[in-house]
Chains A and B, each alone.
Chain A
Amino acid sequence: MKKIKEIVNKNSFATTVYPILFGVLIVVLWQTQILHKILGADTFTLPMPSRIFDIILANTDSIWTNVVATLIVAIGGLIVGSALGFMLGVLATFAPKWGAGGLTVIAAFNAIPIIAIAPIANNLTKDLSDNPEIRSMIAKMIVVTLTCMVPMSINVNRGMTELKPFSLDLMKSYAAENRTVFFKLRLPNSVPYIFTALRVSVPVCVISALVSEYFAEFIIGVGRQIRENIVLAQYATAWAYITVACAIGIILYIILLIAEGITLKGRK
């Protein structure tokens, strides 16, 4: 606990206090309806924070069900995508001839919008299961996997190859085998790069999970509830889910930062 405190305390002013103050300011402007005047909005399309909060409290059960569905897709896709990306990054390291070109092709995946991948993923998975909930979940996970794979593969490849001068010579001078070079040099050297990738892919896994839910066959998830409620003009409920979606993204990112702080402790 003390460790976590230390990590949070470091640079806390710039990274924690200012954003929180800014957030509080927005909420105050919002609740006092100054924000509505600035934006020319009414309290129907932009409900007050207190009302949004009331809706969240009144619907905890159904919100939780949707949060779990979104988290399974986001984190499942993040894990599978990162693992695949890691393997591709390693592969590109040991086959540099194909690796550089291969990673460029993979990077091109990132340019494909999620809304274009989602229907393809639905089509791909339509025969996988009789249960629409399961095949829908797999389709959504494929979308998240594809978006999370790219940053991991590129960063791992860099981590494996961007070594300090002479560090390979040092290994060679001890007649270290390739396996040893991988586990004692390349892999630990990649760890900060893995976190760089995760800083990109953790927020992205939440966003792509939310967006892929829009197009899924089975109606569940925080993203899908935002859409359904907007369609029904239930803006207050939609905003409740938007708030929850933000919270998911922020909490996952904080968990990542804490994990990074602990793992990279001692490094420059």
Chain B
Amino acid sequence: MNIAAGTKLEPEIIIDDLTVVFPSNNGGDPIKALKNINLEIGQGEFISLVGPSGCGKTTLLRTIADLQNPTTGSISIRGLTPKQIRMEKKFGIVFQSPVLYDWRTVRRNVCMPMEIKGLPKKHRTARVTEMLEMVGLYKFGKQYPHELSGGMQQRVGIARALAIDPEILLMDEPFSALDEFTKEKLHEDLLNIWRQTKKTIVFVTHNIQEAVFLSDRVVVLSPHPGRVSAVIDVNIPRPRALSIKRSAEFNALVAEVRSSFEGV
């Protein structure tokens, strides 16, 4: 199928005929979470995976991250397997919840991946400061996570994910628990961070507007079994201001994504 078109950029992640099957718990048929996924993600690209619940978008993200094994097919990242990339600590992941350790201050949470990587202390301290300044939380470094709002906590999560300078940033519905205003602020922040860091970002969401606003391309997945039903280019120029959400172009793209949802 031609839907699985490649990227115009240098491909960084190549997903080749990926199928993931979960064994059934209660003796029924095994569940096909993903079926024959073909997708190329370019270097420095911001790509979103959207789709209804059960379409396998989180499974796809987890398989890229080597938190889930493929049943058949393969994923190659810069010519290496996801496991090799994971062992090299080149992934930064932001989960649905911030997953901050409540016994660590904000600074020490951001520092944690660098401790695991064994980076020298001087470097860690400087990097934590840099990361917290980037997400606008420098003043909150000595606070504990529960003293921050949900949006601030998620920003700490982003700072932590970027602390070890990963090659790929994987985000699994990171803003779904936040209110609309916080979400929009974080969208702008994330795009700024992306422009500064030039990371490849794979962003999972069920929010179509969010996907269109943020992404270079939106990949629509359909459920049962999870497969790619459309790949939509978002050619809105950057930097994008929040005001583009009122533009005809933006709304046409949102409608296009939505219609490929409904076509499922």
Mask, A8-41, CB within 8 Å of B = 1, is: 0000000000000000000000000000000000
Chain B: interface size category: 20 to 34
Task: Report whether B103 and A188 are in contact in the complex, using a CB–CB cutoff of 8 Å.
Answer: yes
Please indicate the chain B residues that have their CB under 8 angstroms from the CB of A172 in the complex. 67, 86
A-B contact count (CB 8 A): 58
Interface positions of A from 232 to 268, Cβ below 8 Å from B: 266-268
Least CB separation from A187: chain B residue: B103
Mask, B54-78, CB within 8 Å of A = 1, is: 0000000000010100000000000
A-B pairs, top 7 by smallest CB distance, nearest first, are: A266-B144, A166-B95, A268-B146, A188-B103, A166-B99, A173-B93, A175-B87
Task: Report whether B99 and A165 are in contact in the complex, using a CB–CB cutoff of 8 Å.
Answer: yes
Instruction: Give the docked Cα–Cα distance between A164 and B105 (Å).
Output: 17
Mask, A163-182, CB within 8 Å of B = 1, is: 01111011111111000100
Instruction: Give the docked Cα–Cα distance between A191 and B115 (Å).
Output: 21
Mask, A150-161, CB within 8 Å of B = 1, is: 000000000000
Task: Report whether A174 and B144 are in contact in the complex, using a CB–CB cutoff of 8 Å.
Answer: no
Least CB separation from A167: chain B residue: B99
Binding site for A on B (CB under 8 A): 65, 67, 86-89, 91, 93, 95-97, 99, 101-105, 112-113, 115-117, 144, 146, 164
Binding site for B on A (CB under 8 A): 164-167, 169-176, 180, 184-185, 188-189, 191, 266-268
Least CB separation from B95: chain A residue: A166
A164-B97, A173-B65 known; A266 vs B89 contact (CB < 8 Å): no
Task: Report whether A185 and B101 are in contact in the complex, using a CB–CB cutoff of 8 Å.
Answer: yes
- Tell me the interface secondary structure of chain B in the complex: loop
Task: Report whether A174 and B89 are in contact in the complex, using a CB–CB cutoff of 8 Å.
Answer: yes
Instruction: Give the docked Cα–Cα distance between A165 and B104 (Å).
Output: 17
Q: How close is A262's CB to chain B, nearest CB, in angstroms? A: 13
Q: How close is B62's CB to chain A, nearest CB, in angstroms? A: 8
Please indicate the chain B residues that have their CB under 8 angstroms from the CB of A266 in the complex. 102-103, 105, 144
Q: How close is A156's CB to chain B, nearest CB, in angstroms? A: 16
Least CB separation from A267: chain B residue: B102
Task: Report whether B99 and A175 are in contact in the complex, using a CB–CB cutoff of 8 Å.
Answer: no
Please indicate the chain A residues that have their CB under 8 angstroms from the CB of B103 in the complex. 188-189, 191, 266-267
| Given A165-B99, A266-B144, 7 new contacts (CB under 8 A) | A165-B97, A169-B67, A173-B93, A175-B89, A184-B112, A191-B103, A266-B102
Q: How close is B65's CB to chain A, nearest CB, in angstroms? A: 6
Q: How close is B178's CB to chain A, nearest CB, in angstroms? A: 17
One of B67, B91, B101, B117 near A167 (C-beta < 8 A): B101
Q: How close is A73's CB to chain B, nearest CB, in angstroms? A: 33
Instruction: Give the docked Cα–Cα distance between A130 and B101 (Å).
Output: 52
Instruction: Give the docked Cα–Cα distance between A174 and B170 (Å).
Output: 13
Q: How close is A195's CB to chain B, nearest CB, in angstroms? A: 12
Of A166, A189, A191, A268, which is in contact with the most chain B CB atoms at under 10 Å from its CB?
A166
Instruction: Give the docked Cα–Cα distance between A176 and B86 (Å).
Output: 10
A266-B144, A267-B146 known; A174 vs B99 contact (CB < 8 Å): no
